[in-house]
Amino acid sequence: MNRLSHWRAPLLSLIVLLLLIGIWHALTLPTTSKQTVNAEYAALVGAAAATGQKSTFPTPADFGAKIWQHLKEPFYDRGSNDKGIGIQLGYSVGRVLIGYLLAALMAIPLGFLIGMSPTVYRALDPFIQVLKPISPLAWMPLALFTLKDSSISAIFVIFICSLWPMLINTAFGVASVRREWLNVARTLEVGPLRTAFRVILPAAAPTIMTGMRISIGIAWLVIVAAEMLVGGTGIGYFVWNEWNNLSITNILTAILAIGLVGMLLDLMLARLTRLVTFPE
Amino acid sequence: MSDALIRIEGISKTFAGRDGTQTTVFEDLHFSIDAGEFVCLIGHSGCGKTTILNVLSGLEQSSSGYVFVDGREINGPSLDRAVIFQSHALMPWLTVMGNIAFAVSSRWPDWSTDKVRAHSQKYIDLVNLAGAEKKRPAELSGGMKQRVGIARALSIEPKMLLMDEPFSALDALTRGELQVEVLRICAETRQTVFMITHDVDEAILLADKIVLMTNGPHAKIAEVVVNTMPRSRTRHDLHKHPHYYPIRNHLIEFLVDRSKAFASDAADYDPRNPPQVRPGLADQAVTTAQPVAHPAPAKPLVAIVR
């Protein structure tokens, strides 16, 4: 009985998946119709347009075949418009990590300062409140104009969107360290630096990590849009390029890959969060 | 007076309210603690007990007055005065060993890791926590947590120990156990202790002197009760001593009646020299009929010494 209930949720998941694939399959069954235009035109525009079909949305089988094709050869490189999905994902993950780590390097010390000093907090709060709600993509033209490099601009956009959750959470975590722990440090005559690293940092670490987890999620959302704008490489550019190629199966594959990589990034941060979390 | 380890001279604390009114919690407190003495402070909540302790530890500053330790005025917290917090204040991300080693390495920054561990272990053993070194505070019971707090405070070998209602969050059985333990440790180490409590029996068991506070605001020291029972008292036979009930009744009567009305009925009260009371000694004539287990120290037979 216990073993059965253990398997109930995965079984339900599988049923939902099969159901979705079934509906998808049913909706994309090929409708055969007579050719309505002449053969020469049909050869020019492709069979789908020629037969007057409404859409050529791929069937689950097409999708599966495409995934298999990508899995067989994820890292090929045949020129700037034909790179394997693995390479494109690599570019995106690389940009996200660089922008994200730069943001962490700035947000965590600055958040520390803001959290420690109510004066600094009040002084910087208006800036944070105004800058925080700005869509990171709005910075793109400014970045392109000043940095004059599309790839660096994408990294800058990641940097700016990862900054706020980390900054705010660090400041909050540092400001809400329990007074009694600070009092312990004070009665032990612990210096400010040792207090910061041995008391405040571990006490605020779970809150800081929560901010970092929110940030990596936002960064991965934004990179797709950013790469659609700047072009060249990356999974966002891949999606846009395949839209121009009208290859829906490739777009679907990319969507699935984006979801899986996003899940992995979140899982990694969740693991790290668990490492620094302490039970009270 | 001159050989007192800690001397409090006329401290008072005033808080500014939100509407600009000034509230004086306590004022013009004078008392001293000798080396090796165990002093308890009892008073109703709101008389600023915790504030007094924070002033002694240096975590808070008094609005006026001075505190001297070994003849030197204090300015801020110091490793001389270890604090045992009511809420134990252990760092939950550190193990028992980690918590104590943090204190030890703060006290002696140039000690090697091995030396710090060995020293910490000594105090873990002292509070009977051997075997729990690798546990986190969350895995410990309330009583064990407070044992770690005591070990951490003692491990830095302070001149004096400040305890802020250290056992009030514990159940009665654990509290009794820890009181015995504190009594033993203080006897072993000759530690000077200042403790805040609201538990009359705890004060009678542990303290050599009990400082009684009137109710706040404008709280004062009403009197200092000297514990006339010998230091060898134990929880087990405490209540058999002929002085036990006189002391206990005196304290309870103060807390119930006199702590409220004190300010008005004391005409010749001198805050610089609060009256010392020795309950039990004045009516010793009544109790001599029964065998006295522990002969009282030879002190003049007066209840109030000014």
pLDDT tens-digit map of B229-274: 888 888 888 888 888 888 888 888 888 887 777 654 556 677 777 7
The pLDDT assigned to A246 comes to 86
Residue A73 lies in a domain: no
The pLDDT assigned to B263 comes to 56
Q: How far apart are CA A258 and CA B284, in angstroms?
A: 89
Joined together, the tokens standing for residue A58 give 């791929």
How many separate domains does chain A show?
1
CB–CB of A52/A33 below 8 Å?
A: yes
Residue partners of A105: CB distance under 8 A and separation at least 6: none
Mutate to test the interface with A, among B87, B91, B163 (most CBs of A within 10 A): B91
The pLDDT assigned to A146 comes to 94
Q: How far apart are CA B80 and CA B98, in angstroms?
A: 21
Cα distances (angstroms) measured from residue B150 to each of A14, A188, B126, B161, B235 = 56, 14, 10, 9, 20
- Provide the 3-class DSSP secondary structure of residue B241: coil
Cα distances (angstroms) measured from residue B210 to each of A58, B31, B196, B230 = 87, 11, 10, 14
Residue B71 carries which DSSP code?
T
ipTM: 0.83
Report the half-sphere exposure of B212 (CA within 13 A, side-chain side): 27
Residue partners of A15: CB distance under 8 A and separation at least 6: none
Range of A270's domain? 85-277
Cα distances (angstroms) measured from residue B216 to each of A148, B18, B219, B263, B269 = 70, 19, 4, 10, 17
Q: Is A203 on the interface with B (CB under 8 A)?
A: yes
Residue A234 lies in a domain: yes
Residue A41 lies in a domain: no
Joined together, the tokens standing for residue A227 give 């790469």
Q: How far apart are CA B158 and CA B83, in angstroms?
A: 9
Residue partners of A225: CB distance under 8 A and separation at least 6: A137, A236
To which residue do tokens 């009282």 refer? Answer: B296
Question: Which member of B78, B85, B138 has the closest CB to residue A280?
Answer: B138
Residue B195 zone, left/alpha/beta (φ > 0; ψ -120 to 50; rest): beta
Cα distances (angstroms) measured from residue A89 to each of A79, A83, A150, A261 = 16, 10, 17, 8
> Is pLDDT larger for residue B236 or for residue B167?
B167
The pLDDT assigned to B299 comes to 43
Residue A178 lies in a domain: yes
Residue A230 lies in a domain: yes
**Cβ contact, residue pair A187, B87, below 8 Å:** no
B64-69, strands of its sheet edge to edge: B22-34, B4-16, B64-69, B72-73
- Computed from CA positions of residues B250, B256, B262, B263, in that sequence, does the dihedral angle turn out positive or negative? positive
Series of mean pLDDT values for 10-residue runs along chain A (280 residues): 80 95 88 63 64 69 90 85 88 96 96 93 94 93 92 94 96 94 94 94 96 96 93 91 90 95 96 91
Lowest model confidence (mean pLDDT) among A67-71, B5-9, B276-280, B301-305: B301-305
Cα distances (angstroms) measured from residue B5 to each of A7, B84, B89, B191 = 70, 19, 26, 11
H or E element: which one contains B48? none
Residue partners of A241: CB distance under 8 A and separation at least 6: A81
pTM score: 0.82
Residue A246 lies in a domain: yes
Residue type at position B252: I
CB–CB of A222/A154 below 8 Å?
A: no
H or E element: which one contains B293? none
> Is pLDDT larger for residue B297 or for residue A84?
A84
Q: How many distinct helices (H) and strands (E) make up chain B?
A: 9, 12
Residues of B in contact with A179 (CB under 8 A): none
Q: How far apart are CA A47 and CA B296, in angstroms?
A: 114
Distance (Å) from the alpha carbon of A218 to chain B's nearest alpha carbon: 29
Q: How far apart are CA B303 and CA B284, in angstroms?
A: 11
Tell me: cis bond preceding B217? Omega within 30 of 0 counts: yes
CB–CB of B43/B28 below 8 Å?
A: no
The pLDDT assigned to A4 comes to 74
Residue A11 lies in a domain: no
The pLDDT assigned to A10 comes to 93
Q: How open is the CA angle B40-B305-B205, to the nearest 5 degrees? A: 25
Q: How open is the CA angle B97-B100-B102, to the nearest 5 degrees? A: 105
Lowest model confidence (mean pLDDT) among B58-72, B233-247, B269-283: B269-283
- Provide the 3-class DSSP secondary structure of residue B81: strand
User: Is B287 buried (19+), middle (13-18) or exposed (0-12) by CB count in 10 A?
Assistant: middle
User: How confident is residue B297, by pLDDT bands cut at 50, 70 and 90?
Assistant: very low
Residues of A in contact with B59 (CB under 8 A): 183, 186-187
Q: How far apart are CA B252 and CA B256, in angstroms?
A: 6
Please report, rounded to a whole number, the percentage of residues in chain B having pLDDT higher than 90: 37
Locate the chain A residue with the closest alpha carbon to B154. Answer: A188
**Cβ contact, residue pair B89, A180, below 8 Å:** yes
From the list B38, B18, B32, B2, the residue with the least C-alpha distance to B227 is B38
**Cβ contact, residue pair A278, B59, below 8 Å:** no
Residue type at position B275: P
Q: How far apart are CA A186 and CA A204, in angstroms?
A: 18
Q: Is A187 on the interface with B (CB under 8 A)?
A: yes
Chain centre to alpha carbon of residue B209: 9
Mean pLDDT is highest, among A80-94, A169-183, B62-76, B207-221, for A169-183
Q: How far apart are CA A74 and CA A253, in angstroms?
A: 12
The pLDDT assigned to A31 comes to 66
**Cβ contact, residue pair B107, A190, below 8 Å:** no
Neighbouring CB atoms inside 10 A of A41's CB total: 12
Instruction: Give the mean pLDDT of B208-229.
Output: 87
Pairing outcome for strands B64-69 and B4-16: antiparallel
Q: What is the pLDDT of residues B90-133, one digit of tens each?
A: 999 999 999 999 999 999 999 999 999 999 999 999 999 999 99
The pLDDT assigned to B1 comes to 45
The pLDDT assigned to B289 comes to 34
**Cβ contact, residue pair B77, A189, below 8 Å:** yes
CB–CB of B229/B237 below 8 Å?
A: no
Q: How far apart are CA A142 and CA A145, in angstroms?
A: 5
Locate the chain B residue with the closest alpha carbon to A275. Answer: B93
Give the CATH number, domain containing residue A242. 1.10.3720.10
Residue A51 lies in a domain: no
